[in-house]
Homo-oligomer: A and B are copies of this chain.
Amino acid sequence: MESKRYKNCLQQIRSRATDVVDEKTGLVVKKESWKDLYVHVASKNNFPTAAGLASSAAGFACLVYALAHLMGAKESYEGEFSTIARLGSGSACRSLYGGFVKWNMGKEDDGSDSIATQIVKKDHWKDLVIIIAVVSSRQKETSSTAGMQTSVKTSPLLQHRAQSVVPKRMVEMEEAIMKRDFATFAKLTCADSNQFHATCLDTSPPIFYMNDTSRRLIGLVEKWNASEGTPQAAYTFDAGPNAVLFAPDDKVARSLLQRILYLFPPASDADISRYVVGDQSIMELAGIKTIDDIEALPTPSEWSGIDIPRTKGELGYLICSRPGQGAIVLEDSAALLDDATGFPGQ
């Protein structure tokens, strides 16, 4: 964690602290005391770090939320904490809230109006299934923050994208989400992911986040969608090679998962419970319990007659998920930190 980003977040929350009474002990920390107190921060995540899966966004959103809770900090306007999280990692502003969230670019030079707002809560589109295909958990060659700065400086296409393409797509996307219009959602999601990576390639020197495995995942979705005539699934790649895939409901998610497992089988000695993690309901629906079940999967119709490589172990693992809630304070019993030492347990 870069010290400066961390300090920025801490300072901003400290300056908004209030008097806090500890429920258990009755101990009072006066708001003017927070500036003199040290904070011991221990963080543990169960997600690939710096692999382009918004790990820094999750981390900084968690940090800002936890500090604000600890110090009884109050927002002076709605979304102010998201502008503070943004100081740590741009997309952290979005990660504070659950459901569907948009990041408003803002106009001010100081970034004070660059805030995230929730479009709808997680229950608005609860049928949606998310499958993350982790291609590689290796650290990226280019950090997304440094990469974006180089793109802004050197890509002739980025400015055009930011000024002429994205604002229109933001309006269309918000409408698609409100209507739960999966076809439009999928079209915009894929097109915008590809255009983001196009501007990375247009950067000097060029930035490549996707690799040949990412391309094969795109091929899987595009070929399926073309064969059905309407979007079945959508893909998006953040600043890394891993795919975030969407399906409109459990039934389609089952077909998607079967396709992924057919084209990207685990290594023969893999532990299947570690190959597909998270929400297990789609695996159950697909009737897959063992590696043998994966090897028995029929060729998806759109691939029949095509000689495709089924390289085992090309994917690291899969995470099945659904739209989630934002930052929350867990019960003590759910803590990942050891209360006695203050360090990560387990």
- A residues engaging B (CB < 8 A)? 156-157, 160-161, 164-165, 187, 190-191, 194-195, 197-199, 201-206, 208, 211-212, 215, 218, 222, 226
Contacts and interface: CB of A to CB of B under 8 A. Distances in A.
B205 A222 contact: yes
Q: Top 7 closest A-B pairs, CB basis?
A: A198-B198, A198-B202, A205-B222, A198-B201, A160-B160, A212-B212, A194-B206
Contact of A208 (B157, B190, B203, B215): B215
A201 B194 CA distance: 6
Contacts of A197: 201
Nearest to A160: B160
Contacts of A204: 187, 190-191, 194
17 contacts: A156-B195, A157-B161, A157-B195, A157-B199, A160-B160, A187-B204, A191-B204, A194-B202, A195-B201, A197-B201, A198-B198, A198-B201, A205-B218, A205-B222, A206-B218, A208-B218, A212-B212
Contacts of A198: 157, 198-199, 201-202
Contacts of A222: 205-206
A211 B210 CA distance: 10
Contact of A195 (B195, B202, B211, B215): B202
Question: Oligomeric state, in number of copies?
Answer: 2
A156 B156 CA distance: 13
A206 B215 CA distance: 9
In this complex, the member of A156, A164, A203, A211 whose beta carbon has the largest number of chain B beta carbons within 10 angstroms is A156
Given A194-B206, A211-B212, 8 more contacts: A157-B157, A157-B160, A157-B161, A157-B199, A191-B202, A201-B201, A208-B215, A208-B218
A222 B201 CA distance: 13
Nearest to A208: B215
Nearest to A204: B191
Contacts of A195: 156-157, 201-202
Contacts of A208: 215, 218
A188 to B, nearest CB: 11
Nearest to A205: B222
A155 to B, nearest CB: 8
A164 B202 CA distance: 14
A204 to B, nearest CB: 6
A187 to B, nearest CB: 8
Contact of A156 (B165, B205, B211, B218): B165
A190 B202 CA distance: 10
A87 to B, nearest CB: 30
A199 B202 CA distance: 9
A309 to B, nearest CB: 13
A283 B335 CA distance: 64
A194 B150 CA distance: 15
